[in-house]
Amino acid sequence: MNGILMNTTLLLALAGVAGLASAALYARRRQWIDALLVLVAALALGLFAAGIRLPGEAGHSLALAPDTPSPLLEGVASFSVDGDGLRAAQWNDLPALPLQWQRPEGGTLRLHHPRQLALGRTFTLRMQRDDKAEARLQLLAENGQLIAEARGSGDLAVNWMPPLAERMVLKARLLDAAGKLRAEGPVPLTIHAPDILQVQGRFGAPSFDLRSLNELLAGSGALLDWQVVLGRAITRTELPLAEMTAPNLLVVDAAWFERLGAAERSALLGRVAGGLPLLVLGANANDPGIWARSLGLALRPQAADKKAGAPLEMLAAPLNPATRTAGEWTSTDDTVWTRDWQKGRVAWLGAAGWHRHAIAEPQALALWWQGVLDHVGIDMPRQVEWLEPEELPLPGQRMELCARGVQGEAVFPDLKLRRSWKPRGDAACVAVWPGRSGWLRVEDARGGAHAVYVYAPGDWPQWQAAQRREATARYAARTPDRALAGAARAFPAWAFALAFVLAMLLLWWRERR
């Protein structure tokens, strides 16, 4: 591109110099008409090389509207759109052309929440809003009963523990400080049965904490291969209720780990390196050297009355890392330290005495332990992972449904359609046009049945506006520079060439006379 510009500039300079020199020679001989012809020819040649462009557009500008079908694009050189713009699915069907659009300010909100959740996990609904004034966010059950509420300014969030595994449509609403309704709409949610944990437990000494943990895991339906050393040559063993095909968590206490021989410890860490997560209960650790040599974990003595755990109050383990970051080990709460171990992960739980909350606060204790297990990073492999649509599905609007691990065809019984999965990156997608709001079922040979919620056109207008603004801004950003440059109309080059030829022919005729 730089070479082309340099060649054009050089040609213009040469034409100008040659034209002025020739005109000066003719003027010196008082041949004024010939001098004028030379100047006209040089000017025409220069304009021809410069590629003069006139103000205006090579085609007309088309005004777009979100409710109109895809337009005819013949002769269209640019787009214009008012208000919040178009949806991403609509922009994806249009070529990249210059866009005239003024982005509105304020008046939007965004909701963030999981569409699918395992039973026993906390459902969290977050509302991000432009208006930062004091307000209330309420979450209501299907029968209209209030189940959670949050007050405050700026972004708001509510939490709720679903009691059953079912598909439901909750409702959320936003009220201002005076109680006036500002926004409301559906919150679709599918609660599925939790994945079954397969836990191997090896412990060097019994404790009330171990008993409490055993009861928590057994109550969640986990398969337990549990062994507790009660005394010399006496071990209490609990076998799983069903065949344990692939353990996905190994829990040990520090005393059991410290008693292992070097070969046994190496074999254990080899299993962890292969991908098996290891959780160490550090309350009965006694030998800091073993942990430093085997796992690179530097432990320091803790004060006897030091507290740990939040929001539940517990005692800190007698030996814990001194800081949240200790070599390869990191912690976010001074309770659980973790590090990667090749394909697996090792976690150190530096708290004790959680059994004291088992009777008074069983639900809070279960949530705390769920957080501990989240730190461990237990991987529950799934054949198929369904991905949520990037924007709110609406009736009559193109919707893309994507998933990982699917193959063949997707069946939509409500639409009486079959669609072949099309690869896209590490997933596969199909496109459909839902006919009405509500749950849209989809079936896959590997993934089984799934459902996507289709919102009504009037649901969450502020959220739809935010998505349309974001999609329109992305479209404007991908418009190529050459398309913007092409908005001006090039003056016909043949006119400059004709003027140059006529001037040179007339000059030649006058010279031949």
Look up residue 481 and give its two tokens: 């520079």
Cα–Cα–Cα angle for 383, 389, 392, rounded to 5 degrees: 150
Return d(Cα 354, Cα 304) in angstroms, integer: 16
Look at residue 422 in the predicted model and tell me its pLDDT.
94
Indicate the pTM of the whole model.
Answer: 0.72
**Phi, psi of 271, rounded to the nearest 5 degrees:** -65, -40
Return d(Cα 95, Cα 124) in angstroms, integer: 39
User: What amino acid occupies position 34?
Assistant: D
CA 436 to chain centre: 27
Return d(Cα 469, Cα 88) in angstroms, integer: 9
User: What amino acid occupies position 455?
Assistant: Y
The per-residue pLDDT string of the chain (513 residues; one tens digit each, 9 = 90 and over) reads 444 444 566 666 776 677 677 767 777 777 777 778 777 777 777 766 666 554 444 557 788 888 876 677 777 888 889 999 999 988 988 888 888 899 999 899 999 999 999 888 889 999 999 988 999 999 999 999 999 999 999 899 999 999 899 999 999 999 999 999 999 999 999 999 888 889 999 999 999 999 999 999 998 889 999 999 987 778 888 888 888 888 999 999 999 999 999 999 999 999 999 999 999 999 999 999 999 999 999 999 998 888 886 678 899 999 999 899 988 999 988 899 999 999 999 999 999 999 999 988 988 898 899 889 988 988 777 788 999 998 999 999 999 999 999 989 999 999 999 999 999 888 999 999 999 999 999 999 888 899 999 999 999 999 999 999 999 999 988 775 544 444 455 556 667 677 767 767 776 777 776
DSSP 382-400: -S-EEEPPSS---TTS-EE
Look up residue 262 and give its two tokens: 């070097």
The per-residue pLDDT for range 379-423, each reduced to its tens digit, is 777 788 999 998 999 999 999 999 999 989 999 999 999 999 999
Which residue has 């603004």 as its token pair? 469
User: What amino acid occupies position 310?
Assistant: A
Return d(Cα 351, Cα 281) in angstroms, integer: 8
Q: List CB contacts of 363: < 8 A, sequence separation 6 or more.
A: 161
